[in-house]
Amino acid sequence: MGLKLYNTLTRQKDDFVPIDANNVRMYVCGPTVYDFAHIGNARPVIVFDVLFRLLRHVYGEAHVTYVRNITDVDDKINARAMRDYPNDKPVEAIRHLTETTYAQFEKDVTELGCLKPTVTPRATEHIAEMIAIIERLIAGGHAYVAEGHALFHVPAMADYGALARRSLDDMMAGARVEVAPYKRDPMDFVLWKPSKDDEPGWDSPWGRGRPGWHIECSAMSWKHLGETFDIHGGGVDLVFPHHENEIAQSRCAFHRDVMANIFMHNGFLQVEGEKMSKSLGNFFTIRELLNDWPGEVLRFNMLKTHYRAPIDFTVRGLEESAAILTKFKKTVAKFSRISGMESVGVISALSDDLNTPAAITEMNHLNSIASGVTYDGGAAKLSEVLEREEEAANKLAWALKLLGFSTQENKVTLSAEFRNQVTALIAARLEARKARNFAESDRLRDELAAMGVVLKDAKNKDTGEIETTWEVKR
RNA sequence: GGCCACGUGGCGGAGUGGUGACGCAGCGGAUUGCAAAUCCGUGCACGGGGGUUCGAUUCCCUCCGUGGCCUCCA
């Protein structure tokens, strides 16, 4: 079955046809590293990680190149670096800050089950490529220099605005930004701007300065993926102006009809029905959430919603995610011979524009088969039933792995002391039960419940004895 | 103000021009001393109003609501 992806350029699901099936190329706008990443930042990282894994499955691990950049120069970074590292030279200060912040980011997203992209380039290491592109744009008449700035001249590109589907007239009508006097046209945007002495800066043909926001992605995608590539991703907020301007830069610099064939954008995230903001007090960093929830639960919760739809991040949703994930893992754990088997249902769900909720539905279906088929007599059929259950469990395990989940249950590490205490209380409760002292038995169960321990009584089939198992519930 | 998305049961969430999956929760039952877990069964929904159509939740228009962009914010 073919992979279809919703393309913002065409506003429909397009068949995915790689430029080169031996090297499928995807670029995703990565984090601006000046502070801890928040849960909203995690969405594109997880979504495109799933796509990366799917592409690797379809085209082979060695045939997919995934580039996720690190934006390590930006006004917020500059301000934070000057505050935190006042004694460093500006370029060193931002390096300090961004290395620390990126290390944290990488740690966070690894816990969310994300693979490392093939390349994670830094903007500040691609200044030469940026300058080269700007020079091409100037030479081609698409850009000009004014008062130390290099600017892209928007009217010089015929179909500017095609991605965001807005005309220059629409934008003029809605414009409420003061226009810098050196701009030839109000829509022109900065490719390069001059830096003050205390700001990070690099030498360029137009003086010491720093890049505009958009040029870095044109430079890094060019360097690592070429003049055109297959997929460009990011959050919906990047459609305009960021991706629109990247397209303008790259296409005009390289005289190409396309920068990337498919542009994909993930929807925004809300928290408990409200937009996440520091002032509302519902602003959560990935790090904070990882203190309370396993990374896999955060990941699963993200995939319960289709990537283009808005997602409401709620505690109730997280609890549900944790329950479903546990259910799947318990089912898999019942089988000793789990080697993994491709699930066509899951693959076809994902192939339809990364429909992860449909994939989860299919996993629920596999879960039912693996755990729910009851054997109702007929010795000849027993082996078939078992085989069918085992097959479903293998597919479920495979799907979990494909989506970046472990098939092992999350083991809570408990001290020997705690274990002994629990074991002793359970033994005491079984004694009380044997004596039919149910008041005491229930009291002990409540005591264990207060410790977070949930009991399950089961009759041993052979001996008829009651045996109690337990687990810790968060 | 301009442009763009979205609005499905208590909750989450797919999908479709022809009486609406799946999951969670709920309820009933089996099981249990009672529970938990498991299994079986089960009720409830397509924002409002027009239009196209034999027929719309699905297509079109409009209104309302939510969100995004137009301010280097995923």
CATH of the domain at A161: 3.40.50.620
Lowest mean pLDDT among A126-135, A265-274, A354-363: A265-274
Q: How large is the average pLDDT for residues A38-67?
A: 96
With tokens 């505690």, the residue in question is A315
Rounded to an integer, the average pLDDT of A419-445 is: 89
Is residue A303 assigned to a domain? yes
How many Cβ atoms sit within 10 Å of the Cβ of residue A446? 10
Whether residue A113 sits in one domain with residue A33? yes
pLDDT at A144 over 80: yes
Q: Domain span at residue A426?
A: 416-472
Q: Provide, rounded to the nearest whole percent, the portion of chain A with pLDDT above 90.
A: 62
- Residue (of A56, A75, A72) closest to A64 by Cα position: A56
Kindly state whether residues A261 and A281 are assigned to the same domain: no
Q: At what angle do helices A215-225 and A244-254 cross, to 10 degrees?
A: 50
* pLDDT for residue A71 is more than 60: yes
Highest mean pLDDT among A195-204, A410-419, A462-471: A195-204
Does a structural domain hold residue A436? yes
**Is the model more confident about A462 or about A386?**
A386
Tell me: do A397 and A424 sit in the same domain: no
Regarding whether A61 and A45 lie in a shared domain, the answer is: yes
Q: Are residues A247 and A355 in the same domain?
A: no
**A419 pLDDT above the threshold of 90:** no
Q: Within a domain: residue A212? A: yes
Q: What is the radius of gyration, based on Cα positions, of chain A?
A: 28
If you average pLDDT over residues A329-353, what whole number do you get? 90
Where residue A370 sits, what CATH number does that domain have? 1.10.730.10
In the structure, what pLDDT confidence band is assigned to residue A376 with cuts at 50, 70 and 90?
A: very low
ipTM: 0.90
On whether both A311 and A427 belong to a single domain, the answer is no
Q: Is the CB of A368 under 7 A from strand B?
A: yes
Please check whether residues A157 and A284 belong to one and the same domain: no
The reported pLDDT for the residue numbered A226 is 96
- pLDDT band at residue A26 using 50, 70 and 90 as cut-offs: very high
At residue A1 the predicted structure's pLDDT band, cuts being 50, 70 and 90, is low
Decide which of A377, A402, A427 is a domain's last residue.
A402
Q: Say whether the CB atom of A426 is under 7 angstroms from strand B.
A: no
Q: Which nucleotide is nearest to A212 (CA to C1')?
A: B72
CB within 8 Å of A365: residues ≥ 6 apart: A345
Longest CA–CA span in chain A (Å) reads: 94
More confident residue, A366 or A186: A366
Q: Where is pLDDT greater, at A312 or A450?
A: A312
Cβ-Cβ contacts under 8 Å for A163 (sequence gap 6 or more) = A8, A9, A239, A240, A243, A244, A247, A263
Give the nucleotide with minimal C1' distance to the Cα of A301: B12
Rounded Cα distance, A43 and A316, in Å: 18
Banded model confidence at residue A470, pLDDT cuts 50, 70, 90: confident
Alpha-helical (H) ranges within A23-167 are: 39-59, 75-84, 90-111, 127-139
d(CA A413, C1' B28) / Å: 39
**Selection from A108, A90, A102, A106 nearest residue A34 by Cα:** A102
Whether A32 sits with its Cβ under 7 A from any strand B atom: the answer reads: yes
Looking at A225, A248, A266, the residue that finishes a domain is A266
- Per the prediction, chain A carries an average pLDDT of 89
Asked if A152 and A119 sit in the same domain, the reply is yes
A326 sits within 7 Å of strand B by its CB:
no
Do residues A397 and A441 both lie within one domain?
A: no
Q: How many domains does chain A have?
A: 3
The three-state secondary structure class of A127 is helix
Residue A265 host element (H or E) = strand A260-266
Q: Is residue A411 part of a domain?
A: no
Alpha-carbon span A361 to A346, nearest angstrom: 9
Pair A112, A248 in one domain:
yes
pLDDT at A131 over 90: yes
CA angle A223, A224, A229 (to 5 degrees): 100
Are A127 and A152 in the same domain? yes
DSSP conformation class of A63: G
Least Cα distance to A163 among A107, A239, A269, A49 occurs for A239
Q: Is residue A394 part of a domain?
A: yes
Report the pLDDT averaged over residues A357-368. 93
Residue A410 included in any domain: no
Return the closest-CA partner of residue A333 out of A371, A372, A380. Answer: A371
Question: Would you say residue A384 has pLDDT above 80?
Answer: no
Nucleotides in B strand less than 7 A from protein CB:
1-6, 11-15, 21-25, 32-40, 67-74
Q: What gap in Å lies between CA A396 and CA A359, rounded to an integer?
A: 10
Residue A19 lies in a domain: yes
Q: How far is CA A14 from CA A3, A8, A58, A127, in A?
A: 9, 10, 17, 34
C-alpha to C-alpha distances, A167 to A61, A353, A430, nearest whole angstrom? 41, 28, 76
Ramachandran angles phi, psi of A271, nearest 5°: -120, 120
Residue A299 banded pLDDT, cuts 50, 70, 90: very high
Domain membership flag for residue A69: yes
Model pLDDT, residue A11: 87
Query: Which of residues A239, A266, A293 is at a domain's end?
Result: A266
* C-alpha to C-alpha distance for A162 and A416, rounded to whole angstroms: 63
Q: In this structure, are A444 and A337 located in the same domain?
A: no
Looking at residues A214-224, what average pLDDT do you find? 96
Residue A449's pLDDT is 84
Contacts of A156 (CB under 8 A, 6+ apart): A141, A142, A143, A252
Region A142-167 average pLDDT: 89
